[in-house]
Amino acid sequence: MAKGLFRLIVVLALAGLATAGPLQDQFGITLSVGAGTVAGHAVTDTFTNSWTPVSATANYVVNDWYGKPALQWNPYPHHTPPQWGVGTFPNGGEPYDVEAIYFDDDIMNFYIAVVTSIPAPPGFPQPGVAGHITTGDLAIGLNGTPYTYGVDINHNDRGPDDGIYGTDTTVGDGLYGTSQADWYIGNPRWLGGVGLLSNFDGSDSGVYLGDVSISYANTGLVENEYPVFLLEITIPRALMPEVGYGSELAISYVSGCINEPTTLNATVNSMLVIPEPSTVTLLALGAGMLVSAARQRA
């Protein structure tokens, strides 16, 4: 009996480490792409999953675009005949698409997930143009103040060669306190939209607050002939103590040329709880005593 208890503790601990990430664990979304019918037209590579999160406290926005119109910019062969497009059309085509943004929180963390066709750093090359369209950073505004925080995802630097040397494949992991003056358009030469700034230089602007957990991965799925990428971010609430219950957040993501700006307006639903050091010590001692007692009874 004691051995079984001890093994159960170990299994639970290992299970807690082997998480799939916020989109699946926190929001209950498992991405899938397949054939279907949209607005009466057959499509062969559209999302077939439900975008609705299982968490009742989650906020989310979906800008998914289905199908492919004949005049979409695309360096790859077009569908013949062209597929129909409905929903929000990404300016410039599928490579710039931000499909959905999710947010949720608990007493310890903020969870953010972004489904997009924008590749991880350095971004993606546009045929006929030197350099890369850079991956954007994540902007978080607080209570009506834009760009209060920034997650430095792409190490793009502002300057005369913005985006030209898009070779840094490192995904950043720093959270910064920023202001609008710290942000800029990552690819000003190829400006395709208005209304949102895409990047800030974490090494030169903002106030470093700490590291966060970031995954920016190719899901292996393909929609409209382009890979689907998943950006997942977990931010310890202790790094943002001024963000409390009821705080209003504006979470924005876009490529460096701001072709498809997408913003999620979200509300914080739980209180920040930071255990006292003595409490953490007692919890650790209690867990140790439980394991020790189980071993002795074994």
Return the number of other C-beta atoms located less than 10 Å from residue 19's C-beta: 11
pLDDT value of residue 93? 78
What are the φ and ψ backbone dihedral angles of 296, each rounded to 5 degrees?
-65, -40
When pLDDT is cut at 50, 70 and 90, the band that residue 204 belongs to is confident
Taking a C-beta distance cutoff of 8 angstroms, is the pair 116, 97 a contact?
Answer: yes
- The CA distance from 181 to 262, in Å, is 20
What mean pLDDT is predicted for residues 177-190?
A: 88
Answer whether 84's CB lies under 8 Å from 69's CB.
Answer: yes
- How many angstroms from the chain centroid is the CA of residue 114? 3
CA angle, 165 as apex, 159 and 171 as ends, to 5°? 95
Beta strands 98-105 and 59-62: pairing type? antiparallel
Per residue in 6-18, pLDDT (tens digit) is: 333 333 333 333 3
List, for residues 78-134, the tens digit of each pLDDT value: 444 555 556 667 777 788 899 999 999 999 999 999 999 999 998 888 766 667 788
Across the chain, mean pLDDT equals 79
Exposed, middle or buried by CB within 10 Å (0-12, 13-18, 19+), for 298? exposed
**pTM of the predicted structure, to 2 decimals:** 0.80
